[in-house]
Amino acid sequence: MNQVIVGKIVNTHGIKGELKVKASTDFIEERFQKGATLYLEYQGQTIEMTVASHRFHKGHVLVTFENHRDINLVEKYKGCLLYAYKDENLLGDDEYYVSDIIGCQVYNDSQLIGVVQDVQLYDHHDILVVKGKEKIMIPYVDAFIVDEDIENKRIDVHLIEGFL
C-alpha cells in the first residue's frame, strides 16, 4: 500500500470549513502543513485535498482545505479517513509505518500462531489483532514483543498463560 492513514475527520468546527481531525500519525506538522496533499474517501471516490491551514485544539488537529472554507462544503466529510502517501524520509533508522506490520506472521516461542490482520491504535499502546485458529489481541509492548523483523514479515512474541 502506498498510502497510510493520517487521521479521521470526527466533526466540524465553526462555520468556516474547519474540520476536527483525530490524527493517527507521528508526523502531524509534516502531514498537515499548508500546501500538503491529503486524500479522503467519500462515497467510494478518492478526493485529493490541499491543506490551507491547521492548528491544534483540545487534543485534535483543526484543518481547513483550499476551496472548502465553508461548513456547508465540508460537513459531509464527517467520519471520513484522511490518507497521505508514505514518505520514507520521515522515518528514522529502524522505524516503519504501522501499516507495514499488517501481514506479518506472529510466532509465540517459535510456533506460528497467526498473521497480523489489523493494528488498533490507542493512546497508551497499540494492539496487534492476530488471526490464526482464533483471533488474538496482543498489546504491542516490550513485555510481549521479543523481536520484530518487519522486512521479512515476522514478529516473535512471548505470551503469558491465558492468551491462547
Give the model confidence (pLDDT) of 28-72 as tens digits.
Answer: 999 999 999 999 999 999 999 999 999 999 989 999 999 999 999
Write out pLDDT tens, residues 104-138: 999 999 999 999 998 887 778 889 999 999 999 99
**Rounded distance between C-alpha atoms, residue 53 and residue 41, angstroms:** 20
In terms of domains, do 7 and 72 share one?
yes
The answer as to whether 73 is a domain residue is yes
Is the per-residue pLDDT at 1 higher than 70? no
**102 and 81 assigned to the same domain:** no
Picking from 53, 69, 89, the residue at the C-terminal end of a domain is 89
Q: Is the same domain home to 27 and 80? A: yes
* pTM of the predicted protein model: 0.70
Identify whether residues 111 and 64 lie together within a single domain.
no
Question: Could you tell me if residue 106 is inside a domain?
Answer: yes
Domain ranges, residue 146: 98-157
pLDDT, average across residues 133-152: 93
What CATH number is given to the structural domain containing 104? 2.30.30.240
38 and 49 in contact (C-beta within 8 Å)?
yes
For the record, the C-alpha cell of 37 comes out as 496533499
- Tell me, yes or no, whether 67 lies in a domain: yes
Count of beta carbons in the 10 Å neighbourhood of residue 29? 10
What is the three-class DSSP state of 140? coil
Q: What is the CATH number of the domain that holds 49?
A: 2.40.30.60
For residues 7 and 83, state if they share a domain.
yes
**What percent of the chain is predicted at pLDDT more than 70?**
99
Q: Does the residue 76 lie in any domain?
A: yes
Tell me the three state secondary structure of residue 30: helix
Identify the band that residue 164 occupies on the pLDDT scale cut at 50, 70 and 90. confident
Within 10 A of 2 (CB to CB), how many other CB atoms are there? 8
Count how many domains the chain has: 2
135 in the same domain as 102: yes
Q: Is residue 164 situated within a structural domain?
A: no
Burial 87-109 (b: 16+ CB within 10 A, else e): eeeeeeeeeebbebbbebbbbbe
